[in-house]
Amino acid sequence: MKKLFFVAFCFSFAIFAVLTSLFVVLYFRLFPHRAIFVYPLSFVFGFLLGILFYLVLTKFMK
């Protein structure tokens, strides 16, 4: 069961990171000189959302 939670965390991290990075790329196409600073933050945001999703999932699965 713990392996399932880890897999769910990895998938949620990947999904949130990809969606956030796509949003950042689309939004900052207007400002290409600023996109390089914000793009790595999308993965940090995806990691935090993955942790949040993991905590919510573990709380409801107990």
Query: pLDDT tens, 46-58?
Result: 777 777 777 777 7
Contact (CB, 8 A) for 54 and 10: no
CA geometry: angle 18, 44, 14, nearest 5 deg: 30
pLDDT at 2: 66
**pLDDT surpasses 60 at 35:** no
Q: How many Å apart are CA 6 and CA 14, to the nearest integer?
A: 12
pLDDT at 19: 78
